[in-house]
């Protein structure tokens, strides 16, 4: 029996009250990598099951939102997007923003949304929010492809864009990682807080809305009056937005101090999120 | 060899009262108080510990036991005795408040059927997902996939979303995944009670098979018969503590002895009938003990205030909820008109042959349409049957075994 051989591999598991300070059990997470992939798969299959258009919705959603943005912010409110066409400008900003917003909301509701499951079986709870990070990343990839298609249209038909400096592309993976870490950290923090104080879950959606307006998604940093710029600089998401614009459109402000401060802030939020989540998950099911 | 499970002084405290309004402030206040009192937590300000103690409920306290590899331990106890809490702690769903558990092997817990199943996914996808959630690797599921599907008897529906399954198919597939787990320690709560009779038998057979290959099993079930046939050892929990830890026979005997407090409550739904007294075997006590097959006589004195048709009902339930018998003149279609005045009803039950245990008696008066106008709560009377373990279930049926050989073949074998 394979079970026999396994039992010699598995060491002792000690279950005690004071385990709250273990922040990350990487070994246990690795052992559950299959589960993570299956959860990602479940996410994908169930998200648009029984819809006629199916995964095409992954394209329609950002496209529609962008069109609305073009209509409201560019045509009606006349917010300048610099020298780039608004359509491309928004699409580019939507890639990291959607990734952030979706990952944040899926992570922040992870405890309350999985009460039934968590109450019946144990596996490292972190697997579920991590699966969200991965499945949302796949969705981001689709949006990225959409962006590329629209970019090609502008490039060949209108000549409105030029090829950005290729050196900027190295920023992309960094920005994606940063958004993922930030969304996960902030989401876990929110999950831990709402597990304790359910009232604050109402605040979570509002927080995302608010965050949207202090993030340069629909406007370039350059259009912000200089006495308000500090608010954008405090926001660790600003870096990701600018990095995306810089590497994909050749506009945007990214400098070394920004990278350093953003990395530090993100690491801090991720750390706090993990600690808070770890402290709550152990006896979370008792308070439901 | 060291025990595969070691539980030492395990305790779990629940806070009663939800974290509701005001808890924010309370928590902040508590936080600052703790800061001030750092180091001497025991000497918290006067009123605090009192208020705390009232809200605290120890679901388990001071529980210690060991389980050796290959043992099958049944955990027995009334609802609220701490069985589920113990299983939850062992399977790491929630953390203990005090004490320690040491597990020396892979553990899989089955506290519900279909953990992790998603209705939109196909049977195949659910087998993989549920398997992974219960702790199997992808490779293990792949190896066992055919076995699982075969065991579940769902056949060609394996690629259909499980939301289209009948509830029986769903449960069978879910149990099959669980039954093929590769773990050293299995924690099983009530999940045996799934599917039709044939499937249940198959599940129990599977459990037997698991024990033969040396798996360690902790089992909670209300089905004492299953427990007795499967488990070599039992642990009886009462009020969060281990009362008996020994052979399953002893545990069941002790469990069956346990009585419930009796409560005499009557409810009149209607002013037309006044029930003055209901007595069983003319005992004043609500609790009656019997040691063998008996005759029970239920007497009810009542006053009718308005001439009408009345029906009477009487029922027996075991404390673990099995409906043993329900008798009524309504079901038997024997209506009778009652004149205004005082009446006495006598119900004779012959050959009441109940198994050892506690039973709750209920009594009801109904109008001509069978609607109850008066009924006792379950605990109008309690029947405690204390007798040797001669049969299982609730009711003993008069029977005889005919074991004569047929023809000469049997004779030949005897020699």
Task: Give B-chain residues touching A39 at CB under 8 angstroms.
Answer: 129
Decide if B102 contacts B5 (C-beta within 8 A).
yes
For B202-233, the DSSP string reads HHHHHHHHHHHTT-EEEEE-S-HHHHHHH-SE
Between B32 and A43, residue with greater pLDDT: A43
Q: For CA atoms B205, B208, B212, B215, give the dihedral sign.
A: positive
Q: Within 10 A of B404 (CB to CB), how many other CB atoms are there? A: 5
Residue B325 near residue B298, CB atoms below 8 Å: no
Q: Are B356 and B389 in contact (CB under 8 A)?
A: yes
- Do residues A118 and A24 make contact, with C-beta atoms less than 8 angstroms apart? no
User: Taking all residues of chain A, what is their mean pLDDT, rounded to a whole number?
Assistant: 84
Q: Is the pLDDT of residue B259 over 50?
A: no
Supply angle C-alpha B146, B151, B154, rounded to 5.
85
Mean pLDDT, range A55-76, rounded to an integer? 85
Of A4-13, A86-95, A166-175, B375-384, the range with the lowest mean pLDDT is A4-13
Residues of chain B found within 8 Å of residue A196, distances taken between Cβ atoms: 19
Q: Per-residue pLDDT for A160 more than 50?
A: yes
Say if residue B384's pLDDT is above 80.
no
Residue from A16, A36, A120, A131 whose CB has the most chain B CBs within 10 Å, to mutate = A120
Pure H helices in chain A: 2-9, 26-31, 33-47, 57-69, 86-108, 110-113, 115-118, 127-153, 171-196, 201-213, 229-234, 237-249, 256-281
**Mean pLDDT across chain B:** 78
pLDDT band at B265 (very low <50, low <70, confident <90, very high): very low
pLDDT digits (tens, 9 = 90+) for B352-370: 888 877 788 888 888 888 7
| A45 touching B (Cβ < 8 Å) | yes
Locate A3 and state its tokens: 């079970």
Question: Which residues in chain B are contacts of A28 at CB distance < 8 A?
Answer: none
Sign of CA dihedral B394, B395, B396, B399: negative
How close B125 comes to chain A (CA, Å)?
A: 8
Q: For A122-136, A196-210, B25-39, B384-398, which range has the lowest pLDDT when averaged over its residues?
A: B25-39
Q: Which of A4, A16, A193 to mutate to test the interface with B (most CBs of B within 10 A)?
A: A16
What tens digit of pLDDT does each residue of A105-134 get? 999 999 888 888 888 888 888 999 999 999
Q: Where are the alpha helices (DSSP H) in A114-170?
A: 115-118, 127-153
Q: What is the mean pLDDT of residues A215-241?
A: 84
The answer, yes or no, to whether residue A4 has pLDDT greater than 60, is no
Q: Give the residue numbers spanning the domain of A157.
A: 24-273
| Least confident span in A128-137, B105-114, B234-243 | B105-114
By Cβ distance, the residue of A11, A13, A122 closest to B93 is: A122
- Express as a percent the part of chain B with pLDDT over 90: 7
> Which of residues 136 through 175 in chain A touch B, CB cutoff 8 A?
none
Q: Which of B25-34, B76-85, B263-272 has the lowest mean pLDDT?
A: B263-272
**Which pLDDT belongs to residue A232?**
81
Rounded to two decimals, what is the model's pTM? 0.72
Residue B237 parent element (H or E): strand B233-238
Residue A220 pLDDT class (50, 70, 90 cuts): confident
Confirm whether A10 is domain-assigned.
no
| Burial state string for B243-255 with b = 16 or more CB within 10 A and e = fewer than 16 | bbbeebeebbbbb
Q: What does each C-alpha distance from B317 to A180, B146, B378 come to in angstroms?
A: 58, 43, 8
Q: Which region among A14-18, B133-137, B207-211 has the lowest average model confidence (pLDDT)?
A: A14-18
Query: How many CA atoms, within 13 angstroms, populate the side-chain half-sphere of residue B170?
Result: 17
For residue A238, being part of any structural domain is answered with yes
The residue-averaged pLDDT of B247-257 equals 79
Residue B195's pLDDT is what?
63
B106 Cβ contact partners less than 8 Å away, ≥ 6 residues apart: A3, A6, A7, A10, B135, B182, B183, B184, B185
Mean pLDDT value of segment A205-221? 87
| CA-based torsion, B158, B159, B162, B164: positive or negative | negative
**How many structural domains does chain A have?**
1
B94:A12 CB<8 A: no
Q: How far is A283 from chain B (nearest CA, A)?
A: 5
> In this model, does residue B53 exceed pLDDT 70?
no
pLDDT given for residue B41 in this prediction: 44
- Please check whether residue A279 lies inside any domain of the structure: no
Whose tokens are 């010699």? That residue is A8
pLDDT at residue A127, rounded to an integer: 93
| CA nearest to B109, candidates B217, B7, B202 | B217
Between residues B263 and A19, the one the model is more confident about? A19
pLDDT of residue B410 exceeding 80, the answer is no
From chain B, pick out residues whose CB is under 8 angstroms from the CB of A17.
95-99
pLDDT at residue B112 tops 70:
yes
- A residues 90-129 closer than 8 Å to B (CB): 117-123
> Is residue A7 a part of any domain in this protein?
no
Bigger pLDDT: A135 or B224?
A135
The Cα of B75 is separated from the nearest Cα of chain A by a number of Å equal to 18
Tell me the two tokens of residue B249: 């026979």
| Nearest residue of chain B to residue A196 (CA atoms) | B19
Q: How far is B402 from chain A (nearest CA, A)?
A: 44
CB A218 within 8 A of CB A79: yes
Q: What is the mean pLDDT of residues B252-268?
A: 52
Chain centroid to Cα B262, Å, comes to 20
Beta B381-385 vs B357-367: how paired, if at all? antiparallel
Q: Is the pLDDT of residue B117 over 70?
A: yes
Nearest CA in chain A to B104: A12
Please report which helix (H) or strand (E) contains residue B112, including its range. none
b/e code B139-169 from CB counts within 10 Å (16+ = b): ebbeebbeebbebbbbeebbeebbeebeeeb
Residue A3 belongs to a domain? no
Locus of tokens 């609790």: B287
Q: CA of B115: how far to CAs of B216, B325, B397, in Å?
A: 21, 35, 39
Q: Which of B25, B13, B56 is nearest to A197 (CA)?
A: B25
pLDDT at B18: 47
Contact A120/B111, CB-based, under 8 Å? Answer: yes
Considering chain A, what percentage of its residues have pLDDT values greater than 70?
Answer: 93
What crossing angle do the helices spanning A33-47 and B123-133 adopt, rounded to 10°?
140
Please indicate whether, in this complex, the C-beta atoms of A285 and B88 are within 8 angstroms of each other.
yes
Q: What is the ipTM of this complex?
A: 0.82
Q: Identify the weakest region by mean pLDDT among B152-166, B170-184, B200-214, B236-250.
A: B200-214
The shortest CB-CB distance from A282 to any of B95, B104, B135 is to B95
Domains and CATH numbers, chain B: 266-385 (2.70.50.60)
Greater pLDDT, A4 or A170: A170
Interface test with A, best of B55, B105, B121, B128 (most A CBs within 10 A): B105
Q: Does any domain span residue A12?
A: no
Place of tokens 């953990």: B115
Task: List residues bridging with B76 in a β-sheet.
Answer: B236
A121 belongs to a structural domain: yes
Calpha distance A183→A175 (Å, rounded) = 12
Rounded Cα distance between A203 and B24, Å, is 15
Which of the two residues, B195 and A92, has the higher pLDDT score?
A92
């Amino acid at each position: 029996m394979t079970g026999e051989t396994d039992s010699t591999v598995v060491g002792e598991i000690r279950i005690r009250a004071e385990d709250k300070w273990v922040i990350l059990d990487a070994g246990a997470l690795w052992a559950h990598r299959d589960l993570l992939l299956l959860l990602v798969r479940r996410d994908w299959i169930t998200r648009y099951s029984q819809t006629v258009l199916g995964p095409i919705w992954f394209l329609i959603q950002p496209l529609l939102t962008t069109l609305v943005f073009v209509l409201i912010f560019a045509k009606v409110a006349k917010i300048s997007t610099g020298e780039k066409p608004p359509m491309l400008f928004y699409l580019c900003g939507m890639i990291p923003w959607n990734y952030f917003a979706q990952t944040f909301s899926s992570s922040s509701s992870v405890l309350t949304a999985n009460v039934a499951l968590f109450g019946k079986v144990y596996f490292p709870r972190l697997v579920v929010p991590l699966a969200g990070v991965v499945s949302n990343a796949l969705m981001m990839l689709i949006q990225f492809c959409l962006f590329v298609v629209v970019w090609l249209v502008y490039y060949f038909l209108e000549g409105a864009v030029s090829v950005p400096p290729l050196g900027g592309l190295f920023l992309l993976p960094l920005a994606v990682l940063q958004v993922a870490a930030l969304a996960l950290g902030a989401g876990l923090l929110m999950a831990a807080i709402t597990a304790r104080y359910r009232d604050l879950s109402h605040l979570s959606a509002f927080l995302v809305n608010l965050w949207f307006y202090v993030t340069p998604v629909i406007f370039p940093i350059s259009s912000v009056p200089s006495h308000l710029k500090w608010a954008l600089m405090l926001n660790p998401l600003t870096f990701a937005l600018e990095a995306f614009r810089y590497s994909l459109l050749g506009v945007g402000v990214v400098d070394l101090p920004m990278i350093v401060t953003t990395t530090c802030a993100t690491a801090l939020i991720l750390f706090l999120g993990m600690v808070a989540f770890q402290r709550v998950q152990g006896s979370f099911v008792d308070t439901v | 060899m060291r025990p595969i499970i070691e539980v030492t002084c395990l305790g779990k405290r629940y806070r009663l009262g939800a974290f509701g309004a005001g808890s924010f402030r309370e928590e902040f206040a508590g936080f600052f108080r703790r800061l001030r009192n750092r180091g001497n937590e025991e000497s918290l300000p006067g009123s605090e510990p009192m208020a705390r103690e009232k809200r605290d409920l120890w679901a388990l306290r001071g529980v210690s036991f060991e389980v050796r590899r290959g043992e099958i331990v049944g955990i027995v106890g009334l609802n609220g005795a701490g069985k589920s809490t113990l299983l939850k702690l062992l399977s790491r769903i929630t953390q203990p408040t005090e004490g320690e558990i040491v597990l020396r092997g892979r553990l899989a817990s089955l506290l519900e059927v279909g953990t992790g199943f998603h209705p939109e996914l196909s049977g195949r996808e659910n087998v993989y997902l549920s398997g992974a959630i219960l702790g199997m690797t992808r490779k293990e599921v792949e190896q066992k996939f055919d076995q699982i599907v075969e065991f579940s008897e769902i056949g060609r529906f394996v690629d259909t979303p499980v939301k289209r399954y009948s509830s029986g198919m769903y449960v069978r597939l879910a149990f099959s995944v669980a039954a093929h787990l590769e773990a050293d320690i299995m924690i099983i709560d009530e999940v045996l009670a799934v599917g039709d009779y044939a499937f249940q038998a198959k599940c129990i057979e599977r459990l037997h098979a698991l024990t033969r290959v040396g798996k360690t099993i902790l089992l909670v079930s209300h089905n004492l018969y299953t427990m007795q046939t499967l488990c070599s050892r039992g642990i009886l929990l009462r009020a969060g503590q281990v009362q008996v830890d020994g052979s399953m026979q002893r545990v069941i005997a002790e469990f069956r002895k346990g009585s419930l407090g009796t409560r005499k409550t009557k409810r009149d739904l209607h002013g037309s009938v006044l029930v003055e007294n209901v007595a069983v075997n003319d005992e004043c006590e609500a609790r009656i003990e019997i040691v063998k097959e008996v005759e029970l006589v239920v007497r009810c004195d009542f006053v009718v205030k308005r001439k009408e048709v009345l029906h009477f009902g009487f029922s027996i339930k075991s404390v673990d909820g099995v409906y043993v018998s329900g008798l009524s003149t309504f079901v038997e279609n024997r209506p009778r008109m009652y004149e205004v005045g005082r009446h006495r009803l006598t119900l004779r039950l012959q050959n009441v042959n109940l198994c050892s245990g506690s039973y709750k008696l209920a009594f009801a008066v109904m109008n001509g349409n069978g609607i109850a106008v008066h009924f006792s709560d379950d605990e109008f009377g309690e029947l405690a049957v204390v007798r040797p373990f001669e049969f299982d279930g609730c009711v003993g049926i008069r029977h005889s075994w005919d074991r004569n050989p047929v023809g000469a073949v049997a004779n030949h074998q005897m020699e």
